[in-house]
């Protein structure tokens, strides 16, 4: 056994995280939750980290790592995208006697971070010794489906019971037998069913020790101010809009400002996260092409679990939750779990990005209808009806940059003419918005030459021609000046 499993008490201990990106975000959240005194050293921070910093959760040194930054540290984490920096962090940590972990670089880790399941004080850590973290995640996700928050509530009862039981039953062996009877009893079943009073009465029956609340009295935890709602909290699936934080709905903004927990995606604006309460828990579950921070089943379980703790959960999703946002899956997961869920519509990039770029999706005499597809389904298992899509007046393709050649090939093969106008709208509605205009015949070449990248919306159809009239600064000839493409923005 190479690794000796332990659970560290980090309360009040100094921990230093080098790096301010998405990977560092998860590490910082866990360290803060464990009570460590966290310092993040990085030139910049993600939106989630920035919001936590403003709430006073950790200290931030806004510069790159320098030797000497780990002086006095109990624990250090190297989470930059530069191996040389991470290895320097490792070397300094070893020299000052700090525990060190370099993310995803096992030879430079004195400890590895397991995949963790938490139910209150009940903690399960799953490790693959760094060989296959994905396996550890899958095992943890399986346990999450089987072990509910009743385990955390059981430990709350156990904490109340331990001292009075020790006084009532001084003999260790007898007391040990009682604990096993308690664990093997139906107390967990009663807690899972939400029958707290009956569970307390059952504890009294088994142990001979009556806890507060077993006969209708208020529990000591409740007297101290901790109360759990009788029913679950509510999950709100909120559309954050196409990019510009001002385009969220008033309803969505109001819910965001009240939420206990905000579960947010990669494209959600940092300015929106600033609108959350300073004590709200911000959980990043972003997905980039080919790289998912949290799998969809894990997101579903997270929403249900947090709501079952009686929390108000806002699931903040780019665009509209029900337009290729997998919002339906998340809503169904809540319904099946008996958790109240409300969908708050958002401005989809289908309409927001195109409008911002000056491209109507319908226009009298040019387009009487439009279709929306995701290019993710333009791969090997393509199930789109391309013959029907090629006949649509306007076609909007989401997540289309990566598979643009396949989309163009299928449209041309099904009768769309090569001179059909095409526009690629990057970062729609933001100050960094850029539009690349072309035709089906040359859009792949122009996109490659201009360095087109996600997030982007692809629009195919005659209404693209209106852009020149609707946006005076619209670029009409990228071929003449592709070298300047990165500087071409739309107001």
Q: Which are the catalytic amino acids?
A: 265, 287
Q: Contact at 8 Å (CB) between 117 and 152?
A: no
Q: Contact at 8 Å (CB) between 305 and 149?
A: yes
Neighbours of 437 (CB within 10 A): 23
What lies within 8 Å, CB to CB, of 60 at 6+ separation is: 20, 39, 40, 41, 42, 45, 49, 53
Closest CA to 250 of 346, 369, 121, 352: 346
Any idea what DSSP says for residue 81?
S
Neighbours of 95 (CB within 10 A): 10
Q: Contact at 8 Å (CB) between 489 and 453?
A: no
Q: What angle do CA 377, 382, 388 make, to 5 degrees?
A: 95
Burial of 271: CB neighbours in 10 Å, binned 0-12, 13-18, 19+: middle
DSSP per position, 82-100: -HHHHHHHHHHHHHHT-EE
Q: Contact at 8 Å (CB) between 291 and 22?
A: no
Q: Contact at 8 Å (CB) between 380 and 406?
A: no
Closest CA to 313 of 300, 294, 332, 328: 300
CA 354/CA 433 separation, integer angstroms: 11
Q: Contact at 8 Å (CB) between 433 and 468?
A: no
- Token pair 């670029």 is found at 475
CA 425/CA 66 separation, integer angstroms: 40
Q: Contact at 8 Å (CB) between 232 and 338?
A: yes
């Amino acid at each position: 056994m190479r690794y000796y499993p332990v659970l560290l008490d980090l309360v009040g201990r100094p921990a230093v995280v080098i790096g301010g990106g998405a990977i560092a975000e998860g590490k910082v959240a866990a360290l803060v939750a464990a009570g460590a005194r966290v310092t993040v050293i990085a030139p910049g921070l993600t939106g989630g980290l920035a919001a936590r910093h403003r709430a006073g959760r950790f200290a931030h040194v806004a510069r790159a790592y320098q030797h000497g930054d780990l002086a006095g540290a109990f624990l250090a984490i190297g989470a930059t995208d530069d191996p040389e920096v991470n290895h320097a962090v490792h070397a300094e940590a070893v020299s000052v006697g700090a525990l060190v972990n370099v993310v995803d670089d096992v030879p430079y880790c004195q400890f590895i971070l397991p995949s963790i399941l938490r139910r209150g004080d009940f903690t399960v850590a799953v490790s693959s010794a760094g060989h296959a973290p994905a396996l550890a995640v899958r095992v943890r996700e399986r346990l999450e489906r089987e072990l509910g928050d009743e385990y955390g509530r059981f430990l709350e009862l156990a904490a109340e019971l331990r001292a009075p039981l020790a006084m009532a039953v001084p003999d260790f062996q007898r007391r040990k037998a009682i604990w096993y009877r308690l664990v093997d009893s139906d107390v967990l079943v009663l807690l899972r069913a939400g029958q707290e009073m009956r569970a307390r009465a059952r504890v009294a029956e088994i142990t001979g020790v009556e806890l507060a609340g077993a006969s209708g009295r208020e529990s000591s935890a409740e007297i101290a101010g901790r109360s759990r709602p009788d029913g679950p909290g509510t999950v709100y699936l909120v559309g954050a809009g196409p990019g510009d934080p001002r385009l969220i709905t008033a309803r969505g903004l109001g819910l965001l400002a009240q939420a206990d927990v905000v579960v947010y995606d990669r494209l959600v604006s940092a300015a929106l996260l600033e609108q959350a309460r300073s004590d709200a828990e911000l959980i990043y579950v972003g997905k980039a092409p080919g790289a998912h921070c949290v799998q969809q089943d894990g997101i579903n379980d997270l929403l249900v679990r947090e709501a079952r703790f009686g929390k108000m959960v806002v699931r903040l999703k780019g665009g509209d939750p029900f337009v290729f946002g997998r919002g339906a899956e998340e809503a169904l997961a809540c319904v099946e779990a008996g958790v109240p869920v409300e969908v708050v519509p958002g401005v989809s990039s289908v309409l927001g990005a195109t409008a911002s770029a000056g491209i109507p999706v319908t226009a009298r005499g040019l387009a009487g209808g439009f279709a929306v597809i995701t290019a993710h389904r333009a791969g090997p298992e393509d199930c789109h009806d391309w013959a029907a899509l090629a006949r649509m007046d306007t076609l909007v393709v989401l997540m289309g940059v990566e598979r643009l050649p396949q989309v163009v090939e299928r449209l041309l093969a099904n009768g769309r003419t090569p001179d059909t106008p095409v526009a690629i709208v990057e970062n729609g509605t933001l100050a960094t918005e850029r539009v690349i205009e072309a035709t089906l015949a040359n859009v792949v070449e122009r996109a490659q030459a201009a360095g087109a990248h996600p997030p982007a919306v692809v629009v195919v159809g005659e209404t693209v021609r209106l852009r020149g009239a609707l946006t005076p600064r619209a670029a009409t000839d990228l071929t003449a000046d592709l070298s300047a493409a990165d500087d071409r923005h739309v107001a």
